[in-house]
Structure 1
Amino acid sequence: MRLTKKQWIQVAVSLIVAIWIFWFLYKDISFDSLLEALSHTSLFWFGLSILVSLIGFWVRAWRWKLLIDAGESEKTKTIHTFWALMIGYLANLLVPRAGEVVRCGVLTKTEDRQMGKLLGTVILERTFDLLFMVSIIFLAFLLEKDLFVRLFSDLVSLDSLKGKIFQYLPLLIGGLIVAMIFVYLVFLKYKDSNLFRKIRHFLRDLVNGVISLKKVDNQLGFWSSSVFIWFTYYLMLMFMAWAIPSTASLSLSSMLMVMVMGSIGMIAPVQGGIGTFHALVAFILMAYGLSNEEGKIFAVIIHGSQVLTMIVLGLIALFFFFKITAKKESKTS
């Protein structure tokens, strides 16, 4: 995937922002403190956390395969979707959000699939991930409602917020109506433009992805794997918390909150969630009584272990990708 000059500037800006956030967070944390925490880390739970994340990657690749194979007579190899997924993760560490396109491009080379349908399955996959994340946020709110209310009330006065909502509600409703009319008029005027054609193509791919979900033979496998993927995220965090003495006593529900904050941090348009993941995870851990240093050290250990795992697997995946494509080219030549 080739980037334009403007896209390279966007990548550079996002990387600079990520590095700046990371530096700002960790400028007061000594490297000796990190080494001290690592020296007391349980290798058993640390290794188990990595193992669970590997299982999660494989299950995600298998779920993607179910969507790709929907309505197709020729089945996709799970190992190929796994390699494509890991190369996609590697690309995300370089260019934010590029991994979704890259993994589709990899699979078009190894499995001769249509790019349009692959993108549709990825859109659908990400849509379901978003719905599951919203559900988990709601579950975390139910389990940790007091913490939510306390944090929110520290940031915003609830009484003044209610007053402002009632005061500006008519203006808000009127603004929404005007905005809807404006969008409709713009659509009528520019419906044949390149922008709206791209939007229609995007919606068409999304519809094709939804249709592919209906055609999935293994419906139980798709839905159970979707739940299991998020369960592996939770276990990975939980095992890593048990590996580090300062977080070993955290409750199960508090780790759910850590997962929520970490997931939100990974959504940010920076390479691999660098900085944003660390900031949000450290913030919520301090809300549970950990010190500033303990929260930041936990965040950098869990994030660093995942990034290193993705880099290693991504490089291995690249090796097999080149090997597979070279073999296919030699057969056709």
Structure 2
Amino acid sequence: MTFDLKTALKYIILLLIGVGVLYLAFKGQDVGRIWLEIKTANFFWVIFSSIIVWLAHVLRALRWQMLYKSIQYKVSFWNAYHAVMIGYLANLALPRFGEIGRCSVIHKAEKVPMFASIGTVITERLFDVLVLLITALALLIFQYDVVSDFLYNTIYLSLANKIQSLNYFWIIGIVLLFLLAVGISVHFLRKKLNKKFLRIFVSLRQGFGSYSKLKNKPLFLLYTFGIWLFYFLSMYVAFYSIESTSSLGLSAAFAAIVFSGFAMVAPVQGGIGVFHWMVGQSLVLYGLAFKDGLAYATIIHSSQVLLILILGSLSLFFVLTKKKRH
């Protein structure tokens, strides 16, 4: 019961942090004007953008299915797709829980060991992180004159000022507490999982080795490229939904996808708040007012959350009713 209470408090705190960032992003802005811009948006382009994002989810299921096949587990496309959508749905409530949730769906539907599934998920996520880092590097190289001011003024100076204002004894204390917590956690896990460790290690290694055993690595990489291409196109297409962003080009969409990618790494439900601030800031670099960037970010974030709520709920319903029929 204590563990459940601690877990609940942790997620509540993360949600409050997200809401706090959202409040700070909108603080001092003309919220009425932002809302008016959202209400008058051209929702044809919003729906079109959502369809493109959905295609990225389909490619993600196909890519994940390939990893299972490489380690001799026959997982159907529909089970992989439903698991992906249910995972996204779970992430809206509990950040990072969706990765475990979708592995659980595959475990129940296809009898794949949980840790083998987790290994495949970590493998594909590593490729996503690699793509994000490559795109960020490309943004820094090819648009250095645009991004450098933001990195120096907004990120570097802000962090430097905060670090200087901290008491170094507090910093040392926090580092020591962190190392102590890591040491205790490792000791506890080794003691608790000693008997199961070998089986867990074998399953994880099987999942991690899924990419090396792929027979068609170019297709896997093509799916990975396609996922991020669709994310990029969804950002670009959504520019046409409101007048203030309709004149922005491919460069702004490229920056927006990089900034949004880092925003979604934050352990906050659905990236709420962090996504809005990061995407809004990315568009400021291209001459857009921050309030207009917030309006755009709110539209695209809300449309993607609605898409996940609808399709994720349908996938959950299908999986539950299928289980009952069997």
Q: Which category of TM-score, normalised to the shorter sequence, fits these structures? A: 0.7 to 0.9
SS of 2:313's equivalent in the other structure is helix
Q: How far 1:247 moved relative to its partner? A: 1.1
C-alpha change, 1:145 and 1:212, in structure 2 (3 Å) is same
The equivalent of 1:133 in structure 2 is 132
How far residue 147 of structure 1 moved from its aligned partner, in angstroms, is 1.6
* Structure 2 counterpart of 1:236, from 215, 234, 237: 234
Q: Which residue identity is paired with 1:81?
A: A
Query: Cα 1:23–1:191, aligned 2, differ >3 Å: closer, same or farther?
Result: closer
What's the TM-score, normalizing by structure 1?
0.82
Shift of the alpha carbon at 1:148?
A: 2.3
Structure 2 residue corresponding to 1:210, chosen from 208, 211, 219: 208
Distance 1:5 1:200, change over 3 A: farther
SS in 1 for 2:209: helix
Residue 152 of structure 1 deviates from its aligned partner by 3.1
**Match of residue 50 from structure 1:** 50
Percent sequence identity over aligned pairs: 30
Change beyond 3 A, Cα 1:151–1:192: closer
Report what 2:176 is aligned to: none
Asked if structure 2 preserves the Cα contact closer than 8 Å seen for 1:143 and 1:253, the reply is no
The answer to which of 263-272 and 147-156 deviates more is: 147-156
Q: Which stretch of structure 1 is more off in the superposition, 190-199 or 124-133?
A: 190-199
CA shift in 2, pair 1:4/1:199, >3 Å: farther
Structure 2 residue matching 1:69: 3-state secondary structure: helix
Q: Contact conserved, 1:241 with 1:248, CA < 8 A, in 2?
A: yes
Q: Deviations over 1:86-129 (max 9, x none)?
A: 11111101111000000000111112211111111001011111
**Bigger mean CA offset, 208-217 vs 262-271:** 208-217
Q: Give the Å deviation of 1:255.
A: 1.4
Indicate whether 1:68 and 2:105 are aligned: no
**Contact 1:40–1:244 (8 Å) recurs in 2:** yes
Q: Contact (CA 8 Å) 1:123, 1:206: kept in 2 or not? A: no
Residue 35 of structure 1: how far off its partner (Å): 4.2
Greater shift after overlay, 198-207 or 271-280? 198-207
CA drift at 1:201:
7.8
Q: Which residue of 2 aligns with 1:22?
A: 22
Map residues 179-190 of structure 1 onto 2, 5 A cutoff: none
Matches within 5 A, 1:65-144: 65-72=65-72, 75-144=74-143
Partner SS for 1:127: helix
Instruction: Say which of 189, 209, 218 aligns to 1:220.
Output: 218
| Structure 2 residue aligned with 1:149 | 148
1:8 aligns with 2:8: yes
Distance in 2 (CA, whole Å) between partners of 1:43 and 1:315 is 22
Greater shift, 247-256 or 299-308, is seen at 247-256
Q: Secondary structure at the match of 2:231?
A: helix
Relative to 1, partners in 2 of residues 1:295 and 1:149: Cα closer, same or farther, differing over 3 Å?
same
Q: CA RMSD in A?
A: 2.8
Q: Which letter maps to 1:58?
A: V
Deviation at 1:32, TM superposition (A): 4.0
